[in-house]
Structure 1
Amino acid sequence: MAMLCAPFRDEEVQGLQSLTDPAELLREIFRVLDLMKMDMLNFTIQSLRPYLQECYVQYEQEKFQKILDKLPNSLDNTTEWLRRAAAAVSASSLQSPSCPAASSSSDARFQGAVSSSSTVPSVMSVLNRGYMDLLCWEPGQSEYPETLLLDQARLQEVQAQVNQLTIIAAVLLVTSGVCGNTLFGSPGFIDRLKLVTKVLLEGLSSIRYEEALQDISDQVLQEVSRTLSQLGYPAFASEKCTSLKGQIKSIADKGNAVRHIIGWAVCDGNDSLMEQH
């Protein structure tokens, strides 16, 4: 074993010599052999990595094509997902300002060619839009793309984080509108609101946001009252407190204007930024 193992396993192999109990010795021998087996496997993969990197794309394409030949309808959901993304990109490009008219006829023909070709979305812009749409995906809305089923759990984790950030941003925006810059300029006030909101949203699905926002509104109001007292300002009137709590609780509604604007900034805004880069 000492001759076959990797150098960093020498210490474990030498430790076998100090064992006197036969049962424990056999158990440790098999454990070290398993480690050596993994070392050999890792070494083999590392040795073959250059060849695998050179051939794996072609190999995957061939296997993928064989599956498509056997099951021609196996990518219907993926096709529909990309079609929706392409339609959204095309619609957004049509809404963008058109190019200014050229002075000469040749320039006009050139501008026409550019404008007509610009209506065809690029592959990258369609993919960007498609992935951003998945961050707003809802069960039952449409079937998940087949090519992303293995990544669905991870994408849904990202989606949950995006939803959480959207709610946190909406709570801060609503609170800022009611409280003004005086409180938001107080050191640590924004961080405390973020922390309270994040803790109360942690681990919750979107269907339980209404319940969480009830608690968040209470905690935000307590933090606002505490900060007002620390700064020496009078407490809010009951009507203003009721308004603040009501606006925060209304964020649970997916049609809420503040939540809608922030959601657009997250999905459509980031999509536009990715297209620019």
Structure 2
Amino acid sequence: MILANLIFMGTSNFACRTLAALEQANYKPKLIITRTDSISGRHRQPSMPPVKKWAAARGLPVWQPININSRESIAKLRSLAPDLFVVVAYGKILSKEVLSLPALGAINVHASLLPDLRGAAPVEWAIMLGYTETGVTTMFMDEGVDTGDIILQQATAIGAEEISGQLRERLAAMAQQLLPETINLVLQGKAPRRPQPPVCPQYAPVLDRAIERLDWTLPAQALANKVRALAPKPGSFCEFRGKRLKIFRAAAVSGSALSGRAVLQGKRLLVGTGEGLLELAEVQPEGKKISIVRDFINGYHIQEEEVFL
């Protein structure tokens, strides 16, 4: 079957990578749908989603509906007589009526081994929870959140020091391989449909700002995982001398000290936790550039047992 009317929905850089894979496989979307422009920065300027930038650079049609499930949106989608929806990191839940429009259904790429880590932030949560393995899943979409029948999966180990930015790039590369293969199977009528169990072992909800703060009463390994999970953006933080201190690289080591108290070992800076010590390696004081911890120690004349909150 020739795929005449493919409609792509996505927003993030991860979605851009899969768009590139579709382009290379000669699956050119008839329309690219993404979220509306956001307002960001000190001057509150409009900021285009990565997918919109990618499409604009190639002269591809883009649509940014405020509500993809509205009657007007559904009428427009129906008029396009879509064969297939491909949805990757779009950030909106599609209604049953929208999902019923394409002749071959709607498929989604998700950055976890479903049913585990359903939700908006599977990459960060995989690292934060101490997982040693994750992967990519393609699936047919239903009304639930990441609950549709599984088509293909590919697993990968998570490196002991890998941060979310690095893992996301690797998973995007895997998705680039898996998505064209999935579409081929759908077109041939050979796509497997493995139903997911209703229960999700662990959800991966949207990350709120509160989760960025480090709680020094937690074990060092849990804190190290959080630092990796939130790097490079948005970054985890604590308070030091009344100001915010972002931490971008750290490791759990053996030892003990009062929670939140500094331990100096030569050019090393460690902080007491609920279990073990957290060795800081790369930090960013409020209003300053990111620096290695040796420069932070020297520049701020860190003292033994100084308090990190």
Which category of TM-score, normalised to the shorter sequence, fits these structures? under 0.3
What's the TM-score once normalised by structure 2's chain length? Answer: 0.22
For normalisation by structure 1, the TM-score amounts to: 0.24
Higher Rg: 1
Q: Which has the higher contact order (CA 8 A, sep 6+)?
A: 1
Greater share of strand: 2
More helix, by proportion: 1
